[in-house]
Structure 1
Amino acid sequence: MEIALVQCPLWDVEKPPLGLAYISAILKKNNHSVFPFDLNAELFSRHIGEEYRNYFDFELWKNKDRFRKIPIPEGFWEKAAQRILDTDPGIIGFCVQDSSFLASMLLATKIRKMDPSRTIIFGGPDCYLSKTEVILSSGSVDYVVRGEGEETIVELIDSLENSKDVSTVCGISYKNSKVMHNKDRSLIKNLDSIPFPDFSGLPLELYKAGSLPFMISRGCVNRCVFCDNWMFWKYYRFRSARNVVDELKHQIKKHKNHFKGTHVFVSNDLLINGNPKELYMMCDLIIKEKLDIRWSGFAAVRNDMTEELLKIMKQAGCIYLNFGIESGSNKVLRDMGKKFRREDAERLIRITHKAGIGVVTNWIVGYPTETKEDFQQTIDFLVRNKEYIDFAAPASPLIILGDVQENFIKYGIFPGKESRMHRFFNRNKPLHSHWQIKGNNHKIRQRRKLVLDTIAYKNDLMTYSSAIQNRVRVNKEGYCADIKLLNIPSGLSEGDEFEIEVNVKNKGKTPWKKVKTKNLNDITAKGLIALGISLLSKDRIPLENDLGRGFLSKQIWPGESATVKARLRAPEKGSYYLKLDMVREYIGRFSEIGSEPLWVPIIVEEVS
């Protein structure tokens, strides 16, 4: 059977969707023809372009009122629906997340109107039991796959293709005069039995990072009360180290042209260290089999994360770990259901830093039991460990999910207006602004977020990669950064990767200074300005597939110089420009800090 698989926005634009690739693989294994459509990548790469940052906001795509105001190009959904129908699929499957739910429903409705004969199936993490009523009542969707989808989708399609009774298919919901929920399907015990994800057919050239996602495990060993991700997967399962490494080798061989020189993989796991022993074995195999890869992922704070394990992870190509620390208060950590204390988190991020692995931290402000004193302990933690943290993700005011959502009265939470209680607590996942308790409301949480983010900015822990072209003017006499290319290797072929060193000298006549503004989001970190470089065409258009960016994490005073390295890919023969740019999008304009960039042409004659 011909089957179309669809990923709608909003989702990751850096790498292809892993869930869709897994479903594609299992369907192909069962002799179905699959036509994948990543409309998210298409929209942001081909239509919205440089403005994508304004609309890459998950809350924007989850809110009905705000979703309607997104300036989608005219006819985008209609053309997408027609392209999907042109493949003549018997079944159209949507991979649905909470951020892609509204767009998926919109497109499914358009397809249903254009051709009511097509069977439309929803599946994914946003297809939980209580939401199936909303999905199926729309009349645009025929079946909902709940939970893990590989075995369910194969059995469902077999039943439809052979006119079997679907009432025996576990893990689905459907409408038959009323909404029917078949019993849950048992989870796949042996993850090694699942075929490797199949990314073929996806527009790999559109993904900006040149990386691929991979999965070591499903589920989580923890049960944080504010989280619902572990609820979807129910319990923790892991793949064997041998199976994971075999997949990495398979993807490197199959998608050699997708990687931009270095083979980069990003874990989609809730945590990569749920089984430290298997993680060690995976790293050992990567080293023994000499895989030239770089990889990263989320990790839990655990006392059995040893220096020995982190050392071999670094040797195996781990470049950074993202830790959900969330709070610097032991009381709040306990109330969250965390299995560690702040002292454990400090120990782990310090030995991770010592091992040469980048440290990323996540924070939640405004937890129901968080007091002013608890919040101050979070600030103290961040400042005390700033030397060991490479990036502090923007603080997140608590979004009511997981057990906190299911039992919000137990946590002393009251949504405020009754209409909001009905809308957000009874029908959909609530946004963080729609709840309050004494001493903790939306304004307080936003204030705490701003304070924590500002402290992170001032300590250079929030360096975003941005190259916003309209913020940069060029060649202002007397205020420029002199960029000089020191070396271009000879004998390059188009697409070859090479490393360059750029010497940056500040020729400005006045020191860089703080931006004078009342908006704290525009504060320039005192003494800490982050810079980047990018490669542009002779028309000074950024080269999307040949982008190199390096970082300087210190201020360059007038008369001083610094050197930054970057990896580039050999372009076609001709003139190209290397541009200096601010990396943090919150800093403001170059004119506000006393210097302007200078674009210097690179003449490449060796590349044919």
Structure 2
Amino acid sequence: MKKAIFTSLREAPSQHVLLVMVHPWYPLLPPLGLAYVSRFIRSKGYNVLLLDFNAKLYNNCDPERKKFWDISTISRIPYPQLVEIFKEKFPEEIETLISLLAERPEPIIGFSTNYLNVKVASYIARMIKERNSDKLIVFGGPGCFWEHDRKSVIPGSVDFFVIGEGEKPFAELVDNFYKGRSLEGIIGIISSSEDKQGRSSPIMNLDEIPFPDFREFDLKDYGCGEARALPLLTSRGCISKCSFCVDHMMCNPFRMRSPEHVVAEIEHHMKEYNIRNFSFNDLLCNGDLKKLERICDLIIEKKLDIKWGSYAVARGDMSLELLQKMKQAGCTTICYGIESGSNRVLKMIMGCIFLNHLMLSSLFPLKN
């Protein structure tokens, strides 16, 4: 079992950067953040070795231990105990991972973090540092965006945090490292000793960054059978600022790729991987209705036989005709966040722009 998990770490030639995703996060889809960062780094001339240890571990463990990726199990475990539980349940695998990461020749190791895995990543990073203090450890992702999450990281285990969109600041850090320049003062990068926020500048033209090609991933590790899908982003940010939601704070302002750029990515994945199912990972697919309709038009014109689903915000100007066109273009699922049936509550939490009559005018066409 362990051989299957660590084949790439043992056999891969030396690269410039090593990117890692650790457990637990259910591996339904390849991690899109890592895919974007890896592709961007490669576009700047640096080679990347990527290990989704999370997916490899899940796919190579027995059914009894798979329960630790189930949110119903994890949600009952206090976060500080997650590290100890995984050390107890996967002692050999975690020890082997730490040893191999410490021994690999790549000087820079980047960890993709979220609210579930940041403490596990912190423990692994600390152990790497104890065995090879020369490693430059970088954390990125939503798991280290907030100050309180960064303060929960074991002191001395992380050299830098990437705050916000990671492509450009992490690429600048890598470039500075290999050209012998200072790693301080990069917008979007803060050192582990700092408490202040230092979010990266949002990429306003999303077409200027290359879309992920997933070539470093073993796609058999994700999904199941014919239902296997790839994640895709048509936009970043949100047009709403709901009081209960932190995503708009991390991802705003709202920006959307050109329809041509989105469809070019779809065509690439269809040709390269024979993928026909896509999960639009946007906070909402209908932030720009004209671009959404153009994406649908292009899919229909090109006769792309795909299925896709997405989140959406309830809005009164979303017509039945557009919904029908989305269905014709392969949309099978739309997840709306209704949040409340009370106008008073909606007014408090959603800035009074999407009230019941707007929701009804948006949802009624779905029934038709």
TM-score, shorter chain, exceeding 0.5: yes
The amino acid of 2:84's aligned partner reads: R
In the alignment, which residue of structure 2 is the partner of 1:312? 325
In the alignment, which residue of structure 2 is the partner of 1:95? 112
Q: Is 1:217 aligned with 2:238? A: no
Q: How far apart in 2 are the matches of 1:50 and 1:350?
A: 44
In the alignment, which residue of structure 2 is the partner of 1:39? 53
Match among 33, 43, 65 for residue 29 of structure 1: 43
The gaps in structure 2 that reach 5 residues or longer are 1-14
Offset at residue 13 of structure 1 (A): 1.4
The amino acid of 2:105's aligned partner reads: D
The amino acid of 2:194's aligned partner reads: V
Give the secondary structure class of the aligned counterpart of 2:50.
strand
Match among 129, 148, 151 for residue 112 of structure 1: 129
Match among 172, 195, 198 for residue 210 of structure 2: 195
CA contact (8 A) 2:115 2:142 kept: yes
The amino acid of 1:150's aligned partner reads: E
TM-score for the superposition, normalised by structure 2: 0.88
CA contact (8 A) 1:62 1:102 kept: no
Higher relative contact order (CA 8 A, sep 6+): 2
Match among 98, 102, 113 for residue 81 of structure 1: 98
The amino acid of 2:151's aligned partner reads: V
Offset at residue 113 of structure 1 (A): 1.9
Q: Is 1:298 aligned with 2:311? A: yes
Q: Is 1:350 aligned with 2:364? A: yes
Q: Is 1:232 aligned with 2:250? A: yes
CA contact (8 A) 1:14 1:207 kept: yes
Structure of larger gyration radius: 1
- 1:266-277 matches, cutoff 5 A: 266-277=279-290
The amino acid of 1:153's aligned partner reads: F
Q: Is 1:278 aligned with 2:291? A: yes
CA contact (8 A) 1:16 1:212 kept: yes
Q: How far apart in 2 are the matches of 1:154 and 1:30?
A: 8
Q: How far apart in 1 are the matches of 2:208 and 2:77?
A: 35
Offset at residue 76 of structure 1 (A): 1.7
Match among 70, 79, 84 for residue 68 of structure 1: 84
Give the secondary structure class of the aligned counterpart of 2:91.
coil
Call closer, same or farther: CA 1:207–1:77 in 2, change over 3 Å.
same
Offset at residue 109 of structure 1 (A): 1.5
Cα distance per residue 1:158-217 (max 9 Å; x no partner): 111122122331111115xx5375854321110001111131122211112411000010
Q: How far apart in 2 are the matches of 1:67 and 1:154?
A: 30
Q: Is 1:205 aligned with 2:215? A: no
Q: Is 1:250 aligned with 2:268? A: yes
Give the secondary structure class of the aligned counterpart of 2:130.
helix
In the alignment, which residue of structure 2 is the partner of 1:174? 191
Give the secondary structure class of the aligned counterpart of 1:36.
strand
User: In percent, how many aligned pairs have the same letter?
Assistant: 34
The amino acid of 2:317's aligned partner reads: D
Offset at residue 66 of structure 1 (A): 5.0
Give the secondary structure class of the aligned counterpart of 1:93.
strand
- RMSD (Å) for aligned C-alpha atoms: 2.1
- 1:334-345 matches, cutoff 5 A: 334-337=347-350, 339-345=353-359
CA contact (8 A) 2:125 2:157 kept: yes
Q: How far apart in 2 are the matches of 1:166 and 1:120?
A: 13
Give the secondary structure class of the aligned counterpart of 1:122.
strand
Give the secondary structure class of the aligned counterpart of 2:332.
strand
Offset at residue 32 of structure 1 (A): 1.3
Offset at residue 219 of structure 1 (A): 0.4
Give the secondary structure class of the aligned counterpart of 1:120.
strand
CA contact (8 A) 1:62 1:99 kept: no
Give the secondary structure class of the aligned counterpart of 2:144.
coil
Q: How far apart in 2 are the matches of 1:203 and 1:86?
A: 23
In the alignment, which residue of structure 1 is the partner of 2:157? 140
Call closer, same or farther: CA 1:11–1:136 in 2, change over 3 Å.
closer
Query: Which protein is richer in strand relative to its size?
Result: 1
In the alignment, which residue of structure 1 is the partner of 2:7? none
CA contact (8 A) 2:35 2:212 kept: yes
Call closer, same or farther: CA 1:196–1:69 in 2, change over 3 Å.
same
CA contact (8 A) 2:279 2:308 kept: yes
Call closer, same or farther: CA 1:25–1:118 in 2, change over 3 Å.
same
- 1:119-518 matches, cutoff 5 A: 119-131=136-148, 134=151, 138-175=155-192, 178-179=193-194, 184-209=199-224, 210-256=228-274, 259=275, 263-337=276-350, 339-354=353-368
Cα distance per residue 1:335-366 (max 9 Å; x no partner): 21252123332343331243xxxxxxxxxxxx
Q: Is 1:2 aligned with 2:19? A: no
Q: How far apart in 1 are the matches of 2:75 and 2:17?
A: 30
CA contact (8 A) 2:107 2:136 kept: yes
Call closer, same or farther: CA 1:173–1:250 in 2, change over 3 Å.
same
Q: How far apart in 1 are the matches of 2:135 and 2:68?
A: 35
Call closer, same or farther: CA 1:155–1:321 in 2, change over 3 Å.
same
Q: How far apart in 1 are the matches of 2:53 and 2:77?
A: 14
Offset at residue 89 of structure 1 (A): 1.1
CA contact (8 A) 1:215 1:268 kept: yes
The amino acid of 2:342's aligned partner reads: S
Cα distance per residue 1:412-432 (max 9 Å; x no partner): xxxxxxxxxxxxxxxxxxxxx
Give the secondary structure class of the aligned counterpart of 1:168.
coil
Number of residue pairs matched by the alignment: 347
CA contact (8 A) 2:238 2:287 kept: yes
